[in-house]
């Protein structure tokens, strides 16, 4: 069947592709076509009529084209910190070289591996403590010691419960079914409710919770999800605070955006950790966080929720003085 698509359309289309195409005549070795993406692998953009040996600027691609194979060839190669999948097909006396940048898949594969190993690690520690606590309880006669080990066991169960809950929230956020359902509601009231929920965490260090969101402040967001995000920020502001510290929540609105801030007078975040704290499982300096419960998933949940609202989250912090987290979301 003869196609009536003209060459111009086809060439424009091939130039749009985010994949490389190089066509070489198998007999004369002359390059016949190079699309826009593949031009980065050439020494000279004026390739027309030239032998590929003069023009190809990359040893891997050069050897794949030179390889006199009967069958199609497939290889994964690293070029300038990117990973490419290169397929060489032989079709009607031509060699067609198809180059795909597979770096994002590699990054994804690595992230998945890291995620599974992090989850296993985070579960392994409480499980082994739990196991030895139960064994001790089994042997122990002294009621005081029994109570002590029951408390240890309870704490570890809470830790695992917290991790599983966070993982479920993340999994739900990542699934397509769980979409953002925006509505208008009162942010001041929502902050009051979160403060009430987290009040028990403030007692030990006598942290003061201050709601400076104006009364009846209208916010347009998914009420449940924003509540999860704000709760995580406020919980952090309490957990990483000092004795008699303060947590202040504010909100302002312009014609396009609402910005909510959660500010604390706590320990602050070192500058080099700031780009990392929104990553899953990242916790600043495990030793300082060890005594403070948590798994390092909270801020990645916050980031997820903010981005699902087409918004942004960031932090300004001074070590030893405190941190201020910003959530900025569109009003419509």
Residue 236 beta carbon to Mg ion: minimum distance, rounded to whole angstroms: 4
Q: Segment 261-300, which members bind Mg ion (CB under 5 A)?
A: 294, 298
| Angstrom distance (rounded) from CA 238 to CA 261 | 14
| Angstrom distance (rounded) from CA 224 to CA 12 | 47
DSSP 3-state of 251: strand
Burial of 107 (C-beta count, 10 Å sphere; 0-12/13-18/19+): exposed
Does position 236 interact with Mg ion (CB under 5 A)? The reply is yes
DSSP assignment letter at 214? P
Residue 261 beta carbon to ligand ATP: minimum distance, rounded to whole angstroms: 12
Q: Which is nearer to ligand ATP, 130 or 163 (CB)?
A: 163
Q: Which is nearer to ligand ATP, 187 or 269 (CB)?
A: 269
**Helices (H) then strands (E): counts for the chain:** 9, 12
139 contact partners, CB below 8 Å, separation of at least 6: none
Chain residue at closest Cβ approach to Mg ion? 298
Q: Which does 289 bind (CB under 5 to 8 A by kind): ligand ATP, Mg ion, none?
A: ligand ATP
Q: Which is nearer to ligand ATP, 131 or 290 (CB)?
A: 290
Q: Which is nearer to ligand ATP, 20 or 126 (CB)?
A: 126
- The answer to whether the CB of 311 falls within 8 A of the CB of 328 is yes
Residue 296 beta carbon to ligand ATP: minimum distance, rounded to whole angstroms: 4
User: What x-and-dash track marks residues 296-325 binding Mg ion by CB under 5 A?
Assistant: --x---------------------------
Q: Which is nearer to Mg ion, 245 or 294 (CB)?
A: 294
Closest by CA position to 239, among listed 287, 277, 203, 286: 203
Residue 182 beta carbon to ligand ATP: minimum distance, rounded to whole angstroms: 24
Residue 254 beta carbon to Mg ion: minimum distance, rounded to whole angstroms: 29
Residues that bind ligand ATP (CB under 6 A): 166, 232, 236-237, 240, 264, 266-269, 277, 282-284, 289, 294-299, 323
Neighbours of 281 (CB within 10 A): 15
Pairing relation of β-strands 94-101 and 82-91? Answer: antiparallel
Residue 181 beta carbon to ligand ATP: minimum distance, rounded to whole angstroms: 24
Q: Which is nearer to ligand ATP, 20 or 266 (CB)?
A: 266
Residue 293 beta carbon to ligand ATP: minimum distance, rounded to whole angstroms: 6
Q: Which does 20 bind (CB under 5 to 8 A by kind): Mg ion, ligand ATP, none?
A: none
Q: Which two tokens stand for residue 150?
A: 């029951």
222 contact partners, CB below 8 Å, separation of at least 6: 180, 181, 182, 183, 305, 308, 309
Q: Which is nearer to ligand ATP, 61 or 267 (CB)?
A: 267
Q: Which does 297 bind (CB under 5 to 8 A by kind): ligand ATP, Mg ion, none?
A: ligand ATP
**What are phi and psi for residue 136, nearest 5 degrees?**
-65, -45
Chain residue at closest Cβ approach to ligand ATP? 298
Pairing relation of β-strands 312-318 and 246-253? Answer: unpaired
How big is the CA angle at 265 (ends 261 and 269), to the nearest 5 degrees?
80
Residues forming contacts to Mg ion in the complex (CB under 5 A) are 236, 294, 298
């Amino acid at each position: 069947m003869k196609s009536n698509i003209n060459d111009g359309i086809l060439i424009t289309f091939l130039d749009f592709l985010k994949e490389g195409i190089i066509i070489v005549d198998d007999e004369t070795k002359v390059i016949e076509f190079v699309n826009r993406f593949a031009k980065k692998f050439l020494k000279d953009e004026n390739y027309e009529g030239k032998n590929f040996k003069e023009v190809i600027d990359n040893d891997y691609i050069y050897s794949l084209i030179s390889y006199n194979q009967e069958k199609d060839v497939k290889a994964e190669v690293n070029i300038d910190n990117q990973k490419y999948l290169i397929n060489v097909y032989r079709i009607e006396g031509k060699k067609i070289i198809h180059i795909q940048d597979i770096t994002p898949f590699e990054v994804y594969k690595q992230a998945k591996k890291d995620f599974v190993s992090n989850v296993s690690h985070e579960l392994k520690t409480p499980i082994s403590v739990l196991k030895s606590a139960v064994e001790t309880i089994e042997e122990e006669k002294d009621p005081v010691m029994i109570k002590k080990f029951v408390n240890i066991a309870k704490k570890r169960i809470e830790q695992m419960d917290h991790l599983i809950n966070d993982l479920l929230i993340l999994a739900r956020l990542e699934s397509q079914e769980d979409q953002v359902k925006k509505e208008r509601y009162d942010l001041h009231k929502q902050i009051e409710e979160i403060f009430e929920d987290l009040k028990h965490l403030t007692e030990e260090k006598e942290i003061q919770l201050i709601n400076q969101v104006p009364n009846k402040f209208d916010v347009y967001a998914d009420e449940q999800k924003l509540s999860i995000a704000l709760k995580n920020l406020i919980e952090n502001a309490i957990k990483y605070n000092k004795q008699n510290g303060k947590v202040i929540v504010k909100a302002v609105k312009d014609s396009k955006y609402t910005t909510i801030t959660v500010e604390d007078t706590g320990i602050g975040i070192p500058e080099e950790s700031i780009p990392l704290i929104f990553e899953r499982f990242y916790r600043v300096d495990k030793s300082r966080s060890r005594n403070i419960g948590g798994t390092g998933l909270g801020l990645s949940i916050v980031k997820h929720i903010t981005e699902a609202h087409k918004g942004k989250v960031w932090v300004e912090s001074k070590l030893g003085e405190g941190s201020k987290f910003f959530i900025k979301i569109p009003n419509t």
